[in-house]
């Protein structure tokens, strides 16, 4: 029996070594160590042995089993590793093939800029207000110190519905409407659509967008205006943006200014985008005219404020270096999907 | 406004570069658009003296000219016939550039070397207006008003070397449309001395009142009218210095008398006119309103009909000028004019503006008057013009000035509060500094009162003084100071939902579009909108750019379909687009508000501006259910539940068998479906397209984005499939609702997974398969429980005439 066991061990070891796959190895295991395996078959003969031989043979059989199990395990591990390697090698793919895309929609570039501006101003404590686009002449002009016959009205190229009703030419009417409905402190921005009778070309559209801003409180100064618009410029065009405040004239602010930002392409040294000036006109602003405050039901002796209005289409075009405003309204997906 | 540096130099002395000048003026409020050296496009052109000339041996036409150009002698071959020995000529030497950027190099002409070119007046970028004696066709022979020095750069020789700075002057500052006004601004900007010119009326012979009578019938429209008379006028070209300054200012020199009026206008900002006395019947000037139907032919040769609200300058019989706008034909100075009347008047700005606008005739003069000029300056301007007449010896001055000034203007005073100004601007600017600034601008400061100069109509309130201080202090010197105080800032729930709707739609692959708010009224026809639809009652623009953009849309679909069409025709294979579009609904377009009262009448209220979530899509694999799924997803994410889906009886724009409306609490708020074949064709869409419009107000009213977490299931679910056969027209939703009812609360989800019609199913029937997921929160479900639930469903369905599929 001892010889039988030794022969079995020898034979099994050889077969284990010859195994080429884990499946084959499992077959070998079952063949020798399984319930109906050869080792079991030998052990079944134990009953025929003498009482002296039995423990000796039992021990030997256990040794053989342990030996074979250990060998099986080692061989198994090696085969598994080899199989894994083979699988990995076989599953290699061309990682340069294109990825499978899910369709994700795109935000319109104007909305991107409007949302950024909202974020900047929400951070400074501004709320977002709106007003009607079909507006009374009163709010669009008269309440803003532009009575009928005022020369500045000429520059607005207004679309009229009736003598008194028009398409607003600016977002500034929101100022007076908001003041009528609210009391200071006021801090709002009002992005929206405005209309002027400009024929469509690369730089003009009869529909465009402005961002109005209004602050009214006690003790608001021009220094506050400068700080706010500095932050706006940096928020929209980057931390290194410089601003330049130039005196200007608007009937509804006094003092008035135009604000330029350092050209974000050349940084101020002069390039095609800024026409060599180093500056790009960003917006008009100023301290709210006392008459406009009064129209809004606010006492200019007690309160002061500032207002500003920026052209969002121009900012959007500058930001993305879009050279033709028509692209914003054509909505060609080849354009939209770039944003 | 173009400003000559030489001219400015008459009034102030500045020690800075042209760039520094431009920057400083811009920052003090007179924005410089550009500055340029005149003649800077000309390079290497010098004065030459012709020393010898002979015919080209090989040509009848060409001349070989020897020229002294100072440092050297050059030989040039020219075809011009007007060159003689002793002439001074402009010589474009080898490697030079003439007007228009043309390069000149030495060459050979029929075998003879030519070291450059002789220039005609136009090759110097000038014309006979600049040098009246220049030859029409030939070389410009320098006259004695040029510096005739061989070798001298041509710019210096001709006075073509001024620096011209172009300003953008805001409409509140007509005083800065003048050399004197800008000199005052520059002096205040650089804090250098400036003394305003004080012309002195030259003495003359006789008394002007014997030649000219002036009468103002409309003193509210003509504040002042001053006139002077010059006899024995000697019409001739102006001297070079005057022509030079006009040219630098962008004004074409004509003759001495006309040039004087233009020169004085540029200098003081006050328009002038010179009438030929022959044209003024009776030597009479009457400033009156035009008679109805009265006509005048203006200087530009156009006959214009006047109306009673227009102001004219008339003689005893006829209008001779449209006041402040343009003179009448023949009223101006001719070569044979003997006696001229100089007019310096001041008209009501609004009146001039209205007249110019009505006549469609905006002139240099009207553009100035409409900004409301200062009548105080009228007479000094006449004095200046007469000074020039004397200097130019352009005629014999008649003594005195006729000056009709019904209501002299008094100077305005404003309270001066320097402490408030500093506080308002957020700066610290001493009283003395503020006072000096205001004085430099021509104000008189006495204690706490500032008297503003009559030419500054724009200074009215303390804020206006603050601006003057601010701009001279320098806006850039105002420190940026953060605002203090708290404001409660957040987006309103409505604004948040708008933004969220965009997020959900983009996540589903829809891209945002931005379309114009006005459309063509034909857009409604293209949509097959019924002729009597209230929605055709749009807000109409009275002065549209064109019919295509003439009405404010009451429906967002025309814009969306245009965009779909454009994308389709630009070969974009598929598109999924959205817009939060605004529509404009006057009362007459809202069937609810003014039933049956639609029509054109003066709107007494503003239209409702309503936001509509608008979707549009086309492409392979896109169908009704793609769009429906996107809408369902949007509503689910917005927390809108419990809405019904209805068929639309007579949908416009949509396919009647593939159009649906969603309603909540009986109110329809969303309409969607497949674009009808006709509308598809109208928009040149070559494939099926799908659109949806959803009233954002209703979406907002029912949106509920509050999330309360539901525990995850602890026990396993059991899934059962139900294969049913029913009538082909029975909506699957009714089956689903029945299953939901019958299955009871164990039903977690029921999902349709197959609909089949065809050979395996009886005609007129369809097979519908649902998958039911059942689960209990209390324990693991048994097969018996699941079977019982399914049995209840089958029983209920059976009552509807729906059977299990065999």
Looking at the fold, whether B577 and B724 belong to one and the same domain comes out as no
Is the separation of the CB atoms in B566 and A331 below 8 Å?
yes
Looking at the fold, whether A206 and A70 belong to one and the same domain comes out as no
How far is the C-alpha of B711 from the C-alpha of B150, rounded, in Å?
A: 101
pLDDT of residue B591: 62
Cβ contacts of B506 on chain A, cutoff 8 Å:
104-107
The answer as to whether B440 is a domain residue is yes
Looking at the fold, whether B33 and B59 belong to one and the same domain comes out as no
The answer as to whether B707 is a domain residue is no
Q: Indicate the residue among B404, B438, B455 that finishes a domain.
A: B404
- A328: tokens are 């914003």
CATH number of the domain bearing residue A292: 3.30.930.10
Looking at the fold, whether B185 and B287 belong to one and the same domain comes out as no
pLDDT at residue A148 tops 90: no
pLDDT at residue A208 tops 50: yes
Cβ contacts of A244 on chain B, cutoff 8 Å:
27, 476
Looking at the fold, whether B600 and B557 belong to one and the same domain comes out as yes
The answer as to whether B713 is a domain residue is no
Cβ contacts of B172 on chain A, cutoff 8 Å:
249
Confidence class of residue B517 from pLDDT cuts 50, 70 and 90? very high
Looking at the fold, whether A139 and A86 belong to one and the same domain comes out as no
pLDDT at residue B169 tops 50: yes
Span B110-122, mean pLDDT? 91
Looking at the fold, whether B435 and B462 belong to one and the same domain comes out as yes
Chain B from 10 to 69: CB within 8 A of any A CB: 26-29, 31
Q: What phi, psi does B353 have (nearest 5°)?
A: -60, -45
CA distance to partner chain A, nearest, from residue B796 (Å): 42
The answer as to whether A98 is a domain residue is no
CA distance to partner chain B, nearest, from residue A95 (Å): 26
pLDDT at residue B417 tops 90: yes
Is B566 in contact with A331 (Cβ distance < 8 A)? yes
Looking at the fold, whether B147 and B171 belong to one and the same domain comes out as no
Looking at the fold, whether A211 and A171 belong to one and the same domain comes out as yes
How far is the C-alpha of B401 from the C-alpha of B378, rounded, in Å?
A: 11
Q: How many CB pairs under 8 A join A and B?
A: 230
**Closest in A125, A132, A206 to B545, CB measured:** A206
Looking at the fold, whether A86 and A126 belong to one and the same domain comes out as no
CA distance to partner chain B, nearest, from residue A271 (Å): 15
Confidence class of residue B598 from pLDDT cuts 50, 70 and 90? very low
Looking at the fold, whether A156 and A302 belong to one and the same domain comes out as yes
Q: Which residue of A has its CA nearest to B427?
A: A223
Is B606 in contact with A111 (Cβ distance < 8 A)? no
Q: Is B470 on the interface with A (CB under 8 A)?
A: yes
The answer as to whether B7 is a domain residue is yes
Looking at the fold, whether B131 and B247 belong to one and the same domain comes out as no
* pTM, full prediction: 0.86
Confidence class of residue B597 from pLDDT cuts 50, 70 and 90? very low
Q: Which residues pair with B617 in a beta bridge?
A: B576, B690
Q: Are strands B326-327 and B340-347 parallel, antiparallel or unpaired?
A: unpaired
Q: What domain range includes position B129?
A: 43-158
pLDDT of residue B379: 95
Q: Are strands B163-168 and B2-4 parallel, antiparallel or unpaired?
A: antiparallel
How far is the C-alpha of B301 from the C-alpha of B279, rounded, in Å?
A: 16
Cβ contacts of A106 on chain B, cutoff 8 Å:
506, 511-512
DSSP for B427-478, written as a single string: ----HHHHHHHHHHTT-EEETTEEEEPTT-TT--SHHHHHHHHHHHH-GGGS
- A126: tokens are 């501004």
Looking at the fold, whether A135 and A255 belong to one and the same domain comes out as yes
The answer as to whether B679 is a domain residue is yes
Span B155-160, mean pLDDT? 92
CA distance to partner chain B, nearest, from residue A131 (Å): 10
Q: Is B508 on the interface with A (CB under 8 A)?
A: yes
Torsion-angle region of B269 (φ positive above 0: left; ψ -120 to 50: alpha; else: beta): left
Looking at the fold, whether A168 and A238 belong to one and the same domain comes out as yes
Percent of chain A exceeding pLDDT 90 equals 63
CATH number of the domain bearing residue B372: 3.50.40.10
Span B531-560, mean pLDDT? 93
pLDDT of residue A81: 93
The answer as to whether A160 is a domain residue is yes
pLDDT of residue B594: 44
**Closest in A125, A165, A199 to B489, CB measured:** A125
Is A331 in contact with B513 (Cβ distance < 8 A)? yes
Cβ contacts of B508 on chain A, cutoff 8 Å:
105
Q: Which residue of B has its CA nearest to A123?
A: B489
pLDDT per position as a tens digit, A97-144: 999 988 899 999 999 999 999 999 999 999 999 999 999 999 999 999
* Peptide bond preceding A255 in cis form (omega within 30 of 0): yes
pLDDT of residue B599: 46
pLDDT at residue A277 tops 90: no
Cβ contacts of A192 on chain B, cutoff 8 Å:
none
Cβ contacts of A187 on chain B, cutoff 8 Å:
483, 487, 489
Looking at the fold, whether B440 and B519 belong to one and the same domain comes out as no
Span A296-315, mean pLDDT? 95
Q: How much is the ipTM here?
A: 0.87
**Closest in B173, B425, B609 to A221, CB measured:** B425
Confidence class of residue B595 from pLDDT cuts 50, 70 and 90? very low
Looking at the fold, whether B800 and B766 belong to one and the same domain comes out as yes
Looking at the fold, whether B64 and B141 belong to one and the same domain comes out as yes
Looking at the fold, whether A12 and A119 belong to one and the same domain comes out as no
Q: Which residues pair with B584 in a beta bridge?
A: B609
Chain B from 349 to 368: CB within 8 A of any A CB: 349-350, 353-354, 357
Q: Which residue of A has its CA nearest to B551?
A: A161
Span A322-327, mean pLDDT? 93
Confidence class of residue B487 from pLDDT cuts 50, 70 and 90? low
Looking at the fold, whether A140 and A78 belong to one and the same domain comes out as no
Confidence class of residue A37 from pLDDT cuts 50, 70 and 90? confident
Confidence class of residue A56 from pLDDT cuts 50, 70 and 90? confident
Cβ contacts of A125 on chain B, cutoff 8 Å:
483, 486-489
**Closest in A105, A165, A195 to B508, CB measured:** A105
Q: Indicate the residue among B477, B502, B532 that finishes a domain.
A: B477
Q: What phi, psi does A148 have (nearest 5°)?
A: -55, 140
How far is the C-alpha of A177 from the C-alpha of A192, rounded, in Å?
A: 14
CATH number of the domain bearing residue B778: 3.30.70.380
Q: Which residue of A has its CA nearest to B572?
A: A333
Burial of A89 (0-12, 13-18, 19+ CB in 10 A): exposed
The answer as to whether B712 is a domain residue is no
- B440: tokens are 């430099």
Is B566 in contact with A332 (Cβ distance < 8 A)? yes
Looking at the fold, whether A85 and A151 belong to one and the same domain comes out as no
**Closest in A128, A154, A199 to B495, CB measured:** A128
The answer as to whether B196 is a domain residue is no
pLDDT per position as a tens digit, B240-270: 999 999 999 999 999 999 999 999 999 999 9
Is the separation of the CB atoms in A191 and A212 below 8 Å?
yes
CATH number of the domain bearing residue B175: 3.30.56.10
Q: What phi, psi does A194 have (nearest 5°)?
A: -135, 165
Q: Which residue of B has its CA nearest to A305?
A: B424
pLDDT of residue A3: 84
Nearest to B730 by CA among B767, B761, B772: B767
Looking at the fold, whether A126 and A66 belong to one and the same domain comes out as no
Picking from A277, A283, A331, A334 by the largest number of B CB atoms within 10 A of its own CB, the best residue to mutate is A331
Cβ contacts of A248 on chain B, cutoff 8 Å:
29, 31, 170
Burial of B624 (0-12, 13-18, 19+ CB in 10 A): middle
pLDDT at residue B781 tops 80: yes
**Closest in A103, A133, A215 to B609, CB measured:** A133
CATH number of the domain bearing residue B135: 2.40.50.140
pLDDT per position as a tens digit, B464-476: 999 999 999 999 9
pLDDT at residue B600 tops 50: no
The answer as to whether A101 is a domain residue is no
Q: What domain range includes position A76?
A: 2-90
Span A216-240, mean pLDDT? 94
Number of domains in chain B: 6
Looking at the fold, whether B168 and B262 belong to one and the same domain comes out as no
Arithmetic mean of pLDDT over chain B: 92
The answer as to whether A168 is a domain residue is yes
Number of domains in chain A: 2
Name the 3-class secondary structure at B254: coil
Looking at the fold, whether B640 and B605 belong to one and the same domain comes out as yes
Q: Indicate the residue among B404, B429, B452 that finishes a domain.
A: B404
**Closest in A248, A331, A337 to B563, CB measured:** A331
pLDDT at residue B67 tops 90: yes
CA distance to partner chain B, nearest, from residue A226 (Å): 5
- Cα–Cα distances (Å) from B777 to B214, B709, B716, B774, B790, in that order, read 105, 15, 9, 10, 18
CA distance to partner chain A, nearest, from residue B461 (Å): 9
Looking at the fold, whether A76 and A183 belong to one and the same domain comes out as no
Percent of chain B exceeding pLDDT 90 equals 81
The answer as to whether B320 is a domain residue is yes
pLDDT of residue B593: 45
């Amino acid at each position: 029996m001892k010889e039988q066991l030794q022969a079995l061990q020898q034979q099994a070891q050889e077969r284990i070594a010859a195994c080429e796959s884990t499946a084959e190895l499992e077959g070998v295991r079952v063949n020798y160590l399984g319930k109906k395996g050869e080792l079991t078959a030998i052990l079944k003969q134990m009953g025929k042995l003498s009482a002296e031989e039995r423990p000796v043979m039992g021990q030997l059989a256990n040794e053989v089993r342990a030996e074979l199990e250990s060998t099986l395990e080692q061989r198994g591990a090696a085969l598994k590793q080899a199989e894994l390697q083979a699988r990995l090698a076989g599953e290699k793919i061309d990682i340069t093939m294109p990825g499978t895309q899910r369709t994700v929609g795109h935000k319109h570039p104007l909305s991107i800029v409007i949302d950024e501006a909202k974020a900047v101003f929400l951070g400074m404590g501004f709320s977002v207000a709106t007003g009607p686009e079909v507006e009374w002449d009163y709010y669009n002009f008269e309440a803003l110190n532009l009575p009928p016959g005022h020369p500045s009205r000429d520059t607005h190229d207004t679309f009229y519905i009736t003598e008194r009703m028009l398409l607003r030419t600016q977002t500034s009417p929101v100022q007076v409407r908001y003041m009528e409905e609210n009391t200071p402190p006021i801090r709002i921005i009002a992005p929206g659509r405005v209309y002027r009778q400009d024929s469509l070309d690369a730089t003009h559209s009869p529909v465009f967008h402005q961002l109005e801003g209004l602050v009214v409180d006690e003790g608001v100064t021009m220094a506050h205006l400068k700080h706010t618009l500095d932050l706006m410029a940096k928020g929209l065009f980057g931390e290194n943006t410089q601003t330049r405040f130039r005196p200007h004239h608007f009937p509804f602010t006094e003092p008035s200014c135009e604000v330029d930002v350092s050209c974000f392409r050349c940084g101020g040294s002069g390039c095609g985008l800024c026409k060599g000036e180093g500056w790009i006109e960003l917006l008009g602003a100023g301290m709210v005219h006392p008459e406009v405050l009064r129209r809004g039901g606010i006492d200019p002796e007690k309160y002061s404020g500032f207002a500003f209005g920026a052209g969002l289409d121009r900012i959007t075009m500058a930001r993305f270096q879009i050279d033709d405003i028509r692209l914003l309204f054509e909505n060609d997906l080849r354009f939209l999907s770039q944003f | 406004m173009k400003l000559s540096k030489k001219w400015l130099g008459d009034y102030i002395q500045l020690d800075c570069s042209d760039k520094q000048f431009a920057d400083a003026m811009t920052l003090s409020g007179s924005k410089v658009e550009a500055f340029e050296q005149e003649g800077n496009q000309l390079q290497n052109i010098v004065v030459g003296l012709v020393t010898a000339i002979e015919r080209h041996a090989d040509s009848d036409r060409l001349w070989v000219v020897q020229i002294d150009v100072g440092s050297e002698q050059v030989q040039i071959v020219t075809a011009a016939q007007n060159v003689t020995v002793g002439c001074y000529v402009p010589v474009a030497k080898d490697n030079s550039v003439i007007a228009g950027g043309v390069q000149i190099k030495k060459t050979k002409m029929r075998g003879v070397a030519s070291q450059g070119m002789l220039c005609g007046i136009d090759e110097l970028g000038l014309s006979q207006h600049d040098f009246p004696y220049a030859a029409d066709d030939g070389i410009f022979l320098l006259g004695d008003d040029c510096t005739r020095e061989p070798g001298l750069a041509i710019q210096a020789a001709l006075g073509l070397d001024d620096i011209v700075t172009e300003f953008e002057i805001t409409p509140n500052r007509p005083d800065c449309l003048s050399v004197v006004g800008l000199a005052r601004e520059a002096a205040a900007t650089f804090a250098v001395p400036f003394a305003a010119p004080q012309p002195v009326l030259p003495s003359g012979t006789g008394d002007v009142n014997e030649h000219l009578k002036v009468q103002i019938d409309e003193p509210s429209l003509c504040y002042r009218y001053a006139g002077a008379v010059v006899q024995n006028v000697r019409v001739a070209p102006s001297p070079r210095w005057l022509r030079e300054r006009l040219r630098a200012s962008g004004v074409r020199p004509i003759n001495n008398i006309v040039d004087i009026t233009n020169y004085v206008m540029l200098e003081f900002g006050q328009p002038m006119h010179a009438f030929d006395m022959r044209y003024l019947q009776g030597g009479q000037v009457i400033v009156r309103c035009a008679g109805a139907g009265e006509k005048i032919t203006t200087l530009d040769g156009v006959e214009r009909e006047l109306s009673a609200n227009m102001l004219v300058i008339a003689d005893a019989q006829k209008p001779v000028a449209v006041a402040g706008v343009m003179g009448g034909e023949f009223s101006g100075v001719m070569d044979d004019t003997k006696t001229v009347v100089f007019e310096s008047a001041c008209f009501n700005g609004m009146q001039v503006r209205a007249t110019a606008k009505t006549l469609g005739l905006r002139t240099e003069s009207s553009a100035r008057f409409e900004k409301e000029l200062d009548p105080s300056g009228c007479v000094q301007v006449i004095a200046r013009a007469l000074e020039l007449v004397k200097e130019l010896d352009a005629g014999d001055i008649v003594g005195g000035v006729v000056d009709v000034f019904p209501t002299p203007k008094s100077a305005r005073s404003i309270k001066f509060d320097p402490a408030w100004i500093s506080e308002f601007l957020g700066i610290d600017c001493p009283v003395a500094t503020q006072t000096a600034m205001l004085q430099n601008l021509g104000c008189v400061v006495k204690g706490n009162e500032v008297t503003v100069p009559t030419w500054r109509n724009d200074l009215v309130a303390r804020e206006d003084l603050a601006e003057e201080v601010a701009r001279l202090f320098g806006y850039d010197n105002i420190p940026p100071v953060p605002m203090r105080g708290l404001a409660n800032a957040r987006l309103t729930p409505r604004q948040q939902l708008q933004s969220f709707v965009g997020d959900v739609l983009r996540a589903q692959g829809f891209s945002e579009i931005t379309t114009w708010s006005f459309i063509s009224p034909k857009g409604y026809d293209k949509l097959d909108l019924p002729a009597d639809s209230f929605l055709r009652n749009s807000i109409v623009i009275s002065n549209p750019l064109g019919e295509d953009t003439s009405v404010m849309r009451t429906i967002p679909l025309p814009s969306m379909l245009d965009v779909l069409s454009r994308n389709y025709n630009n070969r974009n294979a598929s598109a999924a687009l959205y817009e939060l579009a605004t529509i404009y609904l006057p009362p007459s377009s809202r069937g609810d508000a003014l039933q049956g009262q639609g029509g054109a009448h003066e709107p007494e209220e503003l239209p409702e501006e309503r936001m509509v979530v608008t979707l549009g899509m086309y492409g392979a694999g896109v169908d009704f259910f793609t769009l429906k799924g996107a809408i369902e997803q949007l509503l689910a994410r917005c927390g809108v539940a419990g809405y019904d889906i209805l068929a639309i009886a007579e949908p416009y724009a949509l396919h009647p068998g593939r159009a649906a409306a969603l309603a909540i609490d009986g109110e329809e708020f969303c309409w969607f479906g497949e674009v009808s074949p006709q509308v598809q064709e109208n928009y040149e869409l070559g494939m099926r397209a799908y659109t949806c419009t959803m009233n954002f107000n209703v979406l907002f009213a029912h949106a509920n984005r509050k999330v309360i977490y539901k525990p995850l299931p602890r026990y396993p679910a059991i899934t059962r499939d139900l294969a049913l056969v029913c009538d082909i027209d029975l909506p699957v939703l009714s089956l689903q609702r029945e299953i939901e009812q019958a299955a009871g609360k164990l039903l977690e989800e029921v999902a349709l997974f197959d609909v089949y019609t065809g050979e395996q199913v009886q005609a007129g029937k369809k097979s519908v398969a649902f998958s039911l997921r059942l689960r209990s929160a209390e324990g693991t479900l048994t097969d018996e429980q699941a079977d019982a639930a399914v049995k209840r469903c089958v029983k209920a369905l059976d009552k509807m005439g729906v059977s299990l599929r065999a």
